[in-house]
């Protein structure tokens, strides 16, 4: 196998290995993804993103996502913004032009702004339990109760943003140890495909503090789909306005959801870190 060329990028600290799969694609097996994501033995990242030729006529590229543990993901908001910036780099004279990206869950409108911000349309939130997916609840509820061994009963909102999210509102997100509870939620039988678990603290009508424990990656500095999920759940509960700043450990995202049935808009920065090559043969893969 030839050396694998890649770009290292991040969106407010949520970092990615970006691989152009349009010519001479590499077989991104779970083992190879785990090695690439390893922060000591590989490149180091939260997710690997492969960029492919689009099948949808309206899209400029398609992309697929692998988590650090080698599992595949349906969507990644910060990753989608990085894909848009990666594509924009090939056509720098077209800053501000709308493009469409084909994710595993559909086609998304994206726009790279002159100030370096990237806005992406993340799709219409899905609250129906079977489509999240979540089992054991026949009907959609504003809030779900879950009893977990060793923890007090928790109440959460649930939504799919192309991937499943459980959102727990808390009083002090900075002071929490989120991993034990998040892992218990992720392995609960109500979530057959596991779930991203967000812990959200409402600061004001226009501001939310958020930490997210992602399935397949653990706690990340930022989660774009998690920011969208937290915002729409809190909007549904009447806790925040329809446009809100979500503050994550790695930085801020602006989330807008005009109304039911419309797509959620996410705006935030991206960054190129470095270009590199990786030798799988030297690692025995």
Which residue numbers belong to the known binding site for substrate?
14, 47, 67, 77-78, 163, 196, 214-215, 224-225
Residue 228 annotated in active site: no
Residue 76 annotated in active site: yes
Binding-site residues, in ranges, read 14, 47, 67, 77-78, 163, 196, 214-215, 224-225
* Active-site residue, from 33, 45, 82, 223: 223
* Active-site residue, from 33, 76, 82, 112: 76
Cα angle, residue 163 at apex, residues 203 and 127 outer, rounded to 5°: 70
* Residues annotated as catalytic (active site), given as ranges: 76, 223
């Amino acid at each position: 196998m030839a050396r694998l060329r890649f770009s290292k990028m991040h969106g407010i600290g949520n970092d990615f290995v970006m691989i152009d799969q349009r010519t001479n694609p590499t077989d991104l097996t779970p083992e190879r993804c785990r090695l690439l994501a390893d922060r000591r033995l590989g490149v180091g990242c939260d997710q690997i993103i492969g960029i492919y030729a689009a099948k949808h006529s309206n899209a400029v590229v398609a992309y697929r996502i692998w988590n650090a543990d080698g599992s595949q993901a349906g969507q990644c908001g910060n990753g989608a913004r990085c894909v848009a910036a990666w594509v924009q780099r090939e056509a720098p004279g077209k800053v501000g032009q709308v493009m469409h990206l084909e994710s595993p869950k559909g086609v998304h409108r994206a726009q790279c702004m002159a100030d370096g911000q990237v806005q992406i349309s993340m799709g219409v939130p899905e609250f129906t339990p079977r489509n999240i997916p979540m089992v054991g609840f026949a009907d959609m509820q504003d809030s779900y109760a879950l009893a977990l061994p060793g923890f007090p009963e928790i109440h959460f909102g649930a939504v799919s943003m192309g991937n499943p999210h459980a959102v727990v509102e808390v009083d002090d997100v900075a002071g929490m140890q989120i991993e034990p509870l998040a892992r218990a939620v992720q392995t609960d039988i109500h979530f057959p495909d596991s779930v991203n678990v967000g812990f959200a603290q409402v600061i004001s009508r226009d501001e939310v503090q958020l930490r997210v424990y992602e399935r397949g990656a653990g706690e990340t500095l930022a989660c774009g789909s998690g920011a969208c999920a937290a915002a729409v759940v809190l909007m549904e509960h009447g806790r925040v306005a329809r446009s809100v700043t979500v503050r994550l450990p790695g930085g801020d995202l602006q989330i807008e959801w005009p109304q039911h049935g419309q797509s959620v808009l996410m705006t935030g920065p991206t960054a190129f870190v470095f270009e590199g090559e990786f030798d799988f043969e030297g690692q025995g893969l």
